[in-house]
Amino acid sequence: MAATILKSERAIQMSIFVVRAFVTMRAMLNDTRNLARRLAALEKELTERLDVHESAIVSILQRIMDVIDPPAFPEAPRRKIGFNAKG
C-alpha cells in the first residue's frame, strides 16, 4: 500500500515483494493442508491394516497356547464297580 502513496521505485518493489510473500505463504499453507489430508488417510489405512494383522496374530497365539496347554475336557462320569441294588 505504500507504493500508492509514495510512488517511488523502492515502494513499488516492496509492494510487489509483500504480495509475492503472501502468495507464497498461501501456497505453502495449501500444500500443508494437502499433506495433512494425505497423512490422515495414510494413518487411517495403516490403522485398519494393523487391526486386521493384530486379530490374526492373536488368533495364531491362541492356537499355539492351545497346543502347548490344551484345554481340560470334562471327564465322563464313571459307573461304580460292584453290586448295584436297585429297589
Give CA 46 to chain center in angstroms.
5
Task: Compute the average pLDDT of residues 7-12.
Answer: 81
Q: Quick one: pLDDT at residue 69?
A: 76
pTM of the model: 0.40
Top pLDDT among 83 and 29 is at: 29
Cα–Cα nearest to 19, from 42, 2, 37: 2
Domain residue ranges in the chain: 2-68
Residue 3 has pLDDT above 80, yes or no: no
Residue 84 has pLDDT above 70, yes or no: no
Residues 41 and 35: their CA atoms lie apart, in Å, by 10
Q: Quick one: pLDDT at residue 44?
A: 85
Asked whether the beta carbons of 14 and 2 are under 8 A apart, the reply is yes
Q: Tell me the C-alpha to C-alpha distance, in Å, between residue 49 and each of 33, 40, 46.
A: 24, 14, 5
The mean of the pLDDT values for the chain is 79
